[in-house]
Amino acid sequence: MFGRHFSVILLPTNKCNVACDYCFEDKTDDFMSIEMLDEIIEKLLDHMDRKDVAALTIYWQGGEVMMLPPAWFERANDLIARKAASRSRIVEHSLQSNMIGYSGKWNRLIREMFGNSVGTSMDFPNLYRRARNRSPAEYTNIWNRNVREARDSGIQIGVIAIPNNETLRLGAERFYSYFVDELHITDFQVNTSFSGGEACDAKLQSILDLHGLSKFVVDLAHIWAERGFRGGVKLGPFDQLLNHFIGDIASLPCIWQQNCADEFVSIDARGYVAQCDCWVTSYPDYWFGNIFAESSFTDLLEKSPARRKFQMRPEKLMTEESCSDCDYLSVCHGGCPVRTYSITGDFFRKDPYCQVYKALFSTMEQIAARVAAERASHTLPVMRVA
């Protein structure tokens, strides 16, 4: 399992400093101690030895990671580097933060541990992200200030945005302009929402009309292709789809991997293990186990009935859904299990955003054909005649 590399989405705390209306996480006040981290890393490295896995990427998320002090991460970084070196393994780190707790004191750590890069999130317009008892506008102001400060310090910022009903009403042009022209963000991605955790109005509203969302992503694709692509603006997953359809190396998002169970797992601050951060924070019934309760992480994974369901999902979709007849099977493989489960309540259905994905795939395929033809015309003049 996991081949030569695997990834862990590690939640060193389940606590968050904000209270976004549509958050899928059932948050707790738990923090991971360095001693707990030590045990987790030891077991992960045992697993890597046992499975001959050479490299590990840890995606640090929460809760909110910046609820822990930079000093905690410095100790964590030293500990992990030391243990990995003693086993001749490679461990790399990636950071996802809401940036609300960011200040300049994080800069050295971000540079040394995280390659001077942070992933964060913001919507346009921001309807649901807020600090407790504060407005979305106040949240946006703090986020803008902190992101600007981080960028001024040379930190690369990548932004995840989730469209909402207002986004669709305002349209792709306004959305794109907000991030690229107003905020000068050159690396952002569009995600679809899912209504994990306890139900509330914001979560129900966050599930958008699929026709409207399809139109939005198609419009956005064209805008990016015309204005952003050549200017170096990265817009995920549009840019990776373009690579894919052109035939270049593409890194498609986790929702479209052939089987996410072969790619990564998530571990929360209490040691619970599940498929990803969405599952570990929202659905206890789908936990694989607790890493502190088992002597072997490998055994935990291999014996987990919940994990077996994830492994079986693509197979089931091939027979019980229309995926094997789809022109875009090679890109999608049936989509994201957590979106499927949270929206339909049925694990073994295809991703309910299927219609949106197909609209996007089709559009990016057409754009890729244009780009490929243009490339050819630059090197092979006769193609212009043809």
Partner 1 sequence: MTEVVYNIPISLFSGYRGKNVIVRSYDPVEMVMGLSDYDLDHLVAVQLLSMTGNVDVLTNWGNGIPIDLLMLHPQTEFPFLYRYAKLLDRHPLRVCIPVVSGFSKAVKVATSLKLFVKLEIGQPDPSLIDEIHRVLNFYIHNPMVALPIEYFHSTFLAMYHSEQSSLWDVQEENPVNIRYVTEDGRETIARRLGTDRAEGNFDTFVADWQSSMIAEKAECYDCRYFRHCGSYFKWPRKTYRCEGVKSLFGTLEEAAQEMQGEITVLTQAQKGVA
310 lies in the binding site for partner 1 (CB under 8 A): no
Q: Name the residue nearer to partner 1 (CB basis): 28 or 243.
A: 243
What does the alpha-carbon distance between residue 138 and residue 133 come to, in Å, rounded to a whole number?
A: 10
| Helical (H) or strand (E) element with 6 | strand 5-10
Q: Name the residue nearer to partner 1 (CB basis): 105 or 370.
A: 370
What does the alpha-carbon distance between residue 47 and residue 51 come to, in Å, rounded to a whole number?
A: 6
Exactly one of 33, 330, 344, 355 binds partner 1 (CB under 8 A); that residue is: 330
Exactly one of 1, 18, 55, 252 binds partner 1 (CB under 8 A); that residue is: 1
362 lies in the binding site for partner 1 (CB under 8 A): no
Q: Order of strands, edge to edge, in the sheet holding 156-161? A: 117-121, 156-161, 187-190, 234-236
Q: Name the residue nearer to partner 1 (CB basis): 211 or 378.
A: 378
381 lies in the binding site for partner 1 (CB under 8 A): yes
By the 10 Å C-beta count (0-12 exposed, 13-18 middle, 19+ buried), 201 is classed as exposed
Instruction: Give the 3-state DSSP-derived string for 101-117, with helices as H, strands as E and coil as C.
Output: CCCHHHHHHHHHHHCCE
| Helical (H) or strand (E) element with 317 | helix 305-320
- Rounded to a whole number of angstroms, the minimum distance from the CB of residue 348 to partner 1 is 12
Handedness of CA 150, 156, 161, 166 (dihedral sign): positive
**Kind of pairing, strands 90-95 and 55-60?**
parallel
259 lies in the binding site for partner 1 (CB under 8 A): yes
- Rounded to a whole number of angstroms, the minimum distance from the CB of residue 329 to partner 1 is 4
- Residue 179 in contact with residue 161, Cβ under 8 Å? yes
Q: Name the residue nearer to partner 1 (CB basis): 176 or 310.
A: 310
- Residue 296 in contact with residue 317, Cβ under 8 Å? no
Exactly one of 196, 197, 314, 335 binds partner 1 (CB under 8 A); that residue is: 314
Handedness of CA 174, 177, 183, 185 (dihedral sign): positive
131 lies in the binding site for partner 1 (CB under 8 A): no
- Residue 83 in contact with residue 28, Cβ under 8 Å? no
302 lies in the binding site for partner 1 (CB under 8 A): yes
The pair of three-digit structure tokens given for residue 206, joined into one six-digit string: 């966050």
Q: Name the residue nearer to partner 1 (CB basis): 199 or 383.
A: 383
* Segment 150 to 189, residues that bind partner 1, using CB under 8 A: none
Q: Which range in 7-15, 189-197, 203-211, 330-338 contacts partner 1 by CB under 8 A?
A: 330-338
383 lies in the binding site for partner 1 (CB under 8 A): yes
Q: Name the residue nearer to partner 1 (CB basis): 7 or 61.
A: 7
5 lies in the binding site for partner 1 (CB under 8 A): yes
* Residue (of 22, 39, 71) closest to 292 by Cα position: 39
Handedness of CA 90, 157, 72, 290 (dihedral sign): negative
262 lies in the binding site for partner 1 (CB under 8 A): yes
Q: Which range in 166-174, 211-219, 225-233, 312-320 contacts partner 1 by CB under 8 A?
A: 312-320
Site string for partner 1, 20-59 (x = CB under 8 A): ------------------------------xxxx------
What does the alpha-carbon distance between residue 237 and residue 234 come to, in Å, rounded to a whole number?
A: 9
Binding region for partner 1 (CB under 8 A): 1-5, 50-53, 245, 247, 258-259, 262, 302, 311, 314-316, 318-319, 324, 329-331, 333, 379-383
